Amino acid sequence: MSPAAADRAAESLLAFWAEAGVDAMLLDEPVDRIEAGKFVAPRPPERKAATNPAAARAAAPSPDIAAAVAEARELAAQAQDLDALKAAIAAFDGCPLKFAGARQAVFARGAPDAPLMIVGEGPGGEEDARGEPFVGRAGQLLDRMLAAAGLTDRVFITNTVFWRPPGNRTPAPSEQLVCAPFVERAIELVAPKMLLLAGGAAAKSMLKREEGILSLRGRWFEWRSSDGRLELPAMPTLHPAFLLRQPGAKKKAWSDLLTLMERLDRPERGA
């Protein structure tokens, strides 16, 4: 190959790598990957889950979180109606989301005696501005689905956290944990027949499960309050925001809603 041809080949190769996104050399000297691949590094020994008391204490909530949960539980228990619960949430300072850029607490909307409670993940920008959950594009889609199912005036809607997470990120489990007493008190005051859990973060938090929403959706579970006094059937489903990104999944969410409606309107035993 002539020097000119070699130069053209090199330029062509460099152009190929540039188009592929390679813009830097990582090593000064070439590495024989075939030879290097003959050596297999030993796998580090698997660490067994610690079962001693010290490890258990390390896995427990931090003192700050535990104190915030205790305060939330006390404030929630004192609320004798939904208006008092809304005020208690607004006054609560134990959730760090309150001081992470949120404008206001976003509690709930809907019928105070609804047979169905919908629990989402957390408020977004539109909800943060208006002070009500599910009022943005995702909420509008949810409302259309509820209207088509004849559930418009039969739902009470809230979230696992009451302040907008920065950048509309998914709420952290610790943030959901400190808000959980208020969610439980809302369920106790509304006394719905069942729960619809919108989105993976809501389903995992409420049901204490680790599966993804595509595995959980459309299945019946039993939700239990932290003290074991309350127990309700609960169905996870896809979050309306996900349906906006994946319109093809609307059929699955509608199927979940139809399954829920059938059980919701089923005559009570002994009636």
Q: What domains, with CATH codes, occur in the chain? A: 62-264 (3.40.470.10)
Q: What is the pTM of this model?
A: 0.77
Per-residue pLDDT, 58: 41
DSSP per-residue string spanning the chain: --HHHHHHHHHHHHHHHHHTT----S-SS---HHHHTT--PPPPPPPPPP-SHHHHHHHSPPHHHHHHHHHHHHHHHH--SHHHHHHHHHH----GGGGTT--S----EE-TT-SEEEEES---HHHHHHTSSS-SHHHHHHHHHHHHTT-TTSEEEEES-SSPPGGGPPPPHHHHHHHHHHHHHHHHHH--SEEEEESHHHHHHHHT--S-HHHHTT--EEEE-TTS--EEEEEEE--HHHHHH-GGGHHHHHHHHHHHHHHHTSPPTT-
Is 117 within 8 Å of 158 (Cβ atoms)? yes
Per-residue pLDDT, 5: 59
Per-residue pLDDT, 267: 78
Place of tokens 């062509």: 12
Instruction: Round to whole Å and give the CA distance between 235 and 217.
Output: 7
Per-residue pLDDT, 30: 53
Sign of the CA dihedral running 88, 98, 224, 198: positive
Per-residue pLDDT, 266: 86
Question: What tens-digit pLDDT sequence spans the chain (271 residues)?
Answer: 666 656 665 665 555 544 444 444 544 455 454 454 444 444 444 544 444 544 444 445 566 899 999 999 999 999 999 999 999 999 999 999 999 999 999 999 999 999 999 999 999 999 999 999 999 999 999 999 999 999 999 999 999 999 999 999 999 999 999 999 999 999 999 999 999 999 999 999 999 999 999 999 999 999 999 999 999 999 999 999 999 999 999 999 999 999 999 999 887 754 4
Per-residue pLDDT, 110: 98
CA distances to 27, 76, 98, 163, 187 from 14, rounded to whole Å, are: 16, 65, 51, 50, 63
State both tokens at 105: 């607490």
Give the closest residue to 170 by CA, choosing from 185, 159, 181, 156.
159
Place of tokens 């952290």: 172
Q: In this structure, what are the phi and psi dihedrals at residue 2, rounded to the nearest 5 degrees?
A: -70, 160
State both tokens at 57: 């204490």
